[in-house]
Amino acid sequence: MSQEFNNLVNTRLYPVLWVHASPGSGKSVLCATVIDHLLEQNRHCVYFFFKHGDRQKRSLAYMLRSSAYQMALQVPAYRRELTGMAKYGLQMHGLDALSIWRRLYLSLLSEIKLEEEIYWVIDGLDESESSKQVVDFISAVADFKNQIRVLVFSRPLPTINQYFHKARKRTPIVEKSLESNEDDIRLFVVDEIDYLPSDDDFKSEIINEIIRRSQGNFLWVSLVLKRVVRCHRQEQVRQVLETTPDGMNQLYGRMLSLVADLEMPEDKILARILLSWAMYAKNPLTVEELSEFHAAEIRAVMDLKYTLENI
């Protein structure tokens, strides 16, 4: 993505870059790297990570408020305008996304002359409550008279592709696929396998096998490596690889089978509790909250955090 990113930041050939890739392919890691790079260069950088499993973090209204707050911290002219609005008693909390957009962006930000560009980085577009509205806002922001550059990460969903296709009629938008990430995966695997207590030939064999089967999926690689680095014998490592299915769907199926095959009835009950909360909770739970809601079932667990990581 280096050339496209360079064009966005340095040559300013276009105001919006849409980066897409399959789940588990490292989009969020790359997004975080981009943010770190911009901040290290002392650029004005505003960022937001949508999370479908968190009601607040999938909210478009929350994204707009958060981004406005970050811009106010970095852009004095915008901060003065917001302060002036606050003095007149204008409150943003409780307003819908469109109202926030009109008041904080369309009426204020669009009229401010920026001394430096603002880079707006958004991850997980496909996890927002309204991908269409986000794309509409992005394309409108790119049309403001001030210099705002937008970098968006998401899965390559057909609906999102349609939204960007329509947005291109008013704003230049470049897209980039991240399907080819074998070099990045190799670096990650080599770094992790380096801690494996074995000879270099065996390490090389395992590295090549994991990369060959990864299908460009960082998440699959990460889950496999967590099991591999716990092994103490070469036979154990080979058994992990032989029993791990290719692809995330098959791997999740294997995990569910392992839960179903738990020997202790108490472990099965705890596993069902965890899966139920993972599926239906509107917001992520802390370990303390889980302990409070299921005190009877969890009372005998010696170390709940350890159990959650290993069940």
pLDDT reported for residue 152:
94
| 116 and 146 part of one domain | yes
The last residue of one of the domains, among 130, 146, 177, is 177
Residues 6+ apart with CB under 8 A from 246: 213, 215, 220
Quick one: which H or E segment has residue 174? strand 173-177
pLDDT one digit per residue (tens) for the chain, 311 residues: 567 777 777 766 678 999 998 877 778 888 888 899 899 999 999 999 998 878 889 999 999 999 999 999 999 989 998 888 877 777 777 789 999 999 899 888 888 888 888 999 999 999 999 999 999 998 888 878 768 899 999 988 899 999 999 999 888 898 888 766 788 888 889 988 988 888 999 999 999 999 988 887 888 888 899 889 888 899 999 998 988 877 666 666 666 666 666 666 767 777 777 777 666 676 776 767 766 666 666 665 656 666 656 55
Residues 6+ apart with CB under 8 A from 12: 117, 147, 149
| 299 and 239 part of one domain | no
Beta bridge pairs of residue 177: 20
How many domains does the chain divide into? 3
Residues 6+ apart with CB under 8 A from 198: 234, 237
- pTM of the predicted structure, to 2 decimals: 0.70
Query: What is the spatial distance between Cα 142 and Cα 14, in angstroms, rounded to a whole number?
Result: 9
Residues 6+ apart with CB under 8 A from 186: 207, 211
The last residue of one of the domains, among 225, 246, 261, is 261
pLDDT reported for residue 204:
93
| 140 and 171 part of one domain | yes
Query: What is the spatial distance between Cα 173 and Cα 140, in angstroms, rounded to a whole number?
Result: 12
| 44 and 25 part of one domain | yes
Quick one: which H or E segment has residue 288? helix 287-293
User: For residue 289, what are the CA distances in angstroms to 36, 56, 215, 281, 297?
Assistant: 32, 18, 37, 12, 13
The separation between the first and the last C-alpha atoms of the chain, rounded to the nearest angstrom, is 38
| 157 and 217 part of one domain | no
| 297 and 197 part of one domain | no
| 137 and 159 part of one domain | yes
157-196 burial by CB neighbour count: b if 16+ within 10 A, else e? eeebeebbeebeeebebbbbebeebeebbbebbeebbeeb
| 31 and 135 part of one domain | yes
The last residue of one of the domains, among 177, 200, 227, is 177
Q: Could you please report the per-residue DSSP string of 73-105?
A: HH-HHHHHHHHHHHHTT---TT--HHHHIIIII
Residue 245: DSSP 8-state: P
User: For residue 279, what are the CA distances in angstroms to 40, 51, 53?
Assistant: 38, 14, 9
CB 19, CB 178: distance < 8 Å: yes
| 154 and 226 part of one domain | no
Neighbours of 210 (CB within 10 A): 23
pLDDT reported for residue 256:
67
| 60 and 32 part of one domain | yes
* CATH code of the domain in which 137 resides: 3.40.50.300
| 277 and 245 part of one domain | no
| 128 and 222 part of one domain | no
* Boundaries of domain holding 63: 2-177
Residue 174 dihedral angles phi and psi, to the nearest 5°: -110, 140
